[in-house]
Amino acid sequence: MSHTPLSILQANPRASYLAYQSEIDDAIHRVLNSGWYILGNEVSAFEEEFAAFIGVPHAIGVGNGTDALELALRSCGIGVGDEVITVSHTAVATVAAIELVGATPVFVDIETGSYLMDPRQIEAAVSPRTKAILPVHLYGRPANLPAIVEIARKRGLRLIEDCAQSHGALLNGVKTGAWGDVAAFSFYPTKNLGALGDGGMVVTRDSHLSQQIRQLREYGWKQRYVSDQPGMNSRLDEMQAAILRVKLGHLSQDNERRERLARVYLDALAGSCLRLPAGSPDGVHAWHLFVVAHQHRDGLLGFLRERGIGTGIHYPVPVHLQPAYRDRIPLRLPLPNTERAAAQVLSLPLYPELPVESVEQVANAVLEWV
């Protein structure tokens, strides 16, 4: 079956490289010439710069976003027999990390409008085994952190933020990643802050947790080659750190560009029968993805594909219904909004380098289908 070649991509990491090519090339050559390629000056500098950007004292570079979540959980002492409340409408990495530490995910439903954890569902999901709440700031919009923080404090639970899609998002003037006990970021190439490979970061205000994470990411070492506790190997390498330092310097302006493009979509599609994304009422949406919804989503996807317009589905099957999980993780609560979202959501093209004319072309094609 032949497909029309895509003229507009849904995401384009190469465009991000080309936008800052000379700076990135200089950074790469700096690392190559340094002779130091693992946990050196570039990682240390990036950790300091990223911590300052988020507004926390500690940031620890790790191999990828899933490792960041696993290390965040492990640093809080979460393991076998414990339960972690989270959502099923997320990348599977959120749930994989919970299971990697031996804990059990407990799903709550999402809000219809935001696709984010519904705080009203949390209390009913808490059990004597619950140790943490793990909200996901999906699509770049902050979850309802004030309400979730209040429940976590009242119940004595850890709050671990999944910030894989929310680099630079704000709520009440505080960046995502600075609300919880600990938070995890991904630098997968398509993220708002994307590496040219894998990378992740754990951030925290807690010096004890920071020390724990630094040991756990490298075999539990305090002293080299001597493990004080069982650890793992998850290190952000110097090359990716150097590249990310360049991109971090441009992240705020890139996010502003994302927001401007999102506004073009919102203005053009206002009044259509699509459910459009809402901004963050008390903060700043990072617009990692521009996600619309329609009950005949697959028809729209096919229509756009025929016109050379790339789209994505984030995410097509809720975690609790995926083959690897559906027979193992019983639901404590029904998840009607989660299941409806998976059948209806569609991510339109959005990245900082995307021309406004391309956004208008996509919007016009959507309106033609509607």
296 shares a domain with 241: no
Residue 282 confidence (pLDDT) above 90: no
Per DSSP (E only), the strands in the chain are 58-62, 83-87, 104-108, 130-133, 158-162, 170-171, 174-175, 182-186, 200-204, 221-223, 226-227, 283-284, 290-293, 345-348
CATH number at residue 23: 3.40.640.10
255 shares a domain with 197: no
* Mean pLDDT, rounded, of the chain: 97
H or E, element range at 154: helix 145-155
Residue 4 lies in a domain: no
101 shares a domain with 204: yes
pLDDT tens digits for range 208-264: 999 999 999 999 999 999 999 999 999 999 999 999 999 999 999 999 999 999 999
- DSSP line for 71-88: HHHHHTT--TT-EEEEES
- DSSP line for 268-285: HHTTSSSBPP---TTEE-
| CA triple 74-228-206, angle to 5 deg | 45
Percent of the chain's residues with pLDDT above 70: 99
H or E, element range at 219: none
| CA–CA dist 112, 211 (Å, integer) | 39
Residue 242 lies in a domain: yes
Residue at which a domain ends, from 197, 228, 248: 248
Residue 279 confidence (pLDDT) above 90: no
Q: Helices then strands (H, E): number in the chain?
A: 13, 14
Residue 144 confidence (pLDDT) above 90: yes
CATH number at residue 258: 3.90.1150.10
29 shares a domain with 91: yes
| CA–CA dist 333, 347 (Å, integer) | 27
| pLDDT for position 280 | 80
Sign for the CA dihedral angle at 181, 282, 173, 141 comes to: positive
Task: Label each residue of 302-335 as H, E or C.
Answer: HHHHHCCECCECCCCCCHHHCCCCCCCCCCCCCC
Domain boundaries, position 174: 15-248
Distance in Å from the first CA to the final CA of the chain? 25
| CA–CA dist 326, 83 (Å, integer) | 17
- Beta-carbon neighbour count of residue 21 at 10 Å? 11
Over residues 273-286, mean pLDDT: 92
H or E, element range at 156: none
Amino acid at 255: N
pLDDT tens digits for range 156-207: 999 999 999 999 999 999 999 999 999 999 999 999 999 999 999 999 999 9
pLDDT tens digits for range 39-69: 999 999 999 999 999 999 999 999 999 999 9
| pLDDT for position 2 | 53
Residue at which a domain ends, from 248, 280, 298: 248
174 shares a domain with 30: yes
Contact 268, 364 (CB under 8 A): yes
> Would the pTM count as exceeding 0.85?
yes
> Lowest mean pLDDT: which of 84-88, 198-202, 271-275, 278-282?
278-282
| CA–CA dist 237, 68 (Å, integer) | 14
142 shares a domain with 115: yes
| CA–CA dist 262, 352 (Å, integer) | 10
Cα within 13 Å of Cα(154), Cβ side: 9
Amino acid at 79: G
Residue 86 lies in a domain: yes
Residue 272 lies in a domain: yes
Residue at which a domain ends, from 191, 216, 248: 248
123 shares a domain with 186: yes
| CA–CA dist 264, 272 (Å, integer) | 14
Residue 1 confidence (pLDDT) above 50: no
Residue 146 lies in a domain: yes
Sequence-distant (6+) residues with CB within 8 A of 196 are 13, 17, 24, 189, 239, 240, 243
Q: Find, among 104, 118, 133, the residue nearest to 337 by Cα.
A: 118
pLDDT tens digits for range 300-356: 999 999 999 999 999 999 999 999 999 899 899 999 999 999 999 999 999 999 999
271 shares a domain with 217: no
Strand, coil or helix: what is 304? helix
Q: What's the domain count of the chain? A: 2
Strand, coil or helix: what is 150? helix
305 shares a domain with 177: no
- Beta-carbon neighbour count of residue 333 at 10 Å? 14
- Backbone φ and ψ for 168, nearest 5 degrees, come out as 95, -5
271 shares a domain with 360: yes
| CA–CA dist 296, 343 (Å, integer) | 9
259 shares a domain with 241: no
Residue 128 lies in a domain: yes
242 shares a domain with 339: no
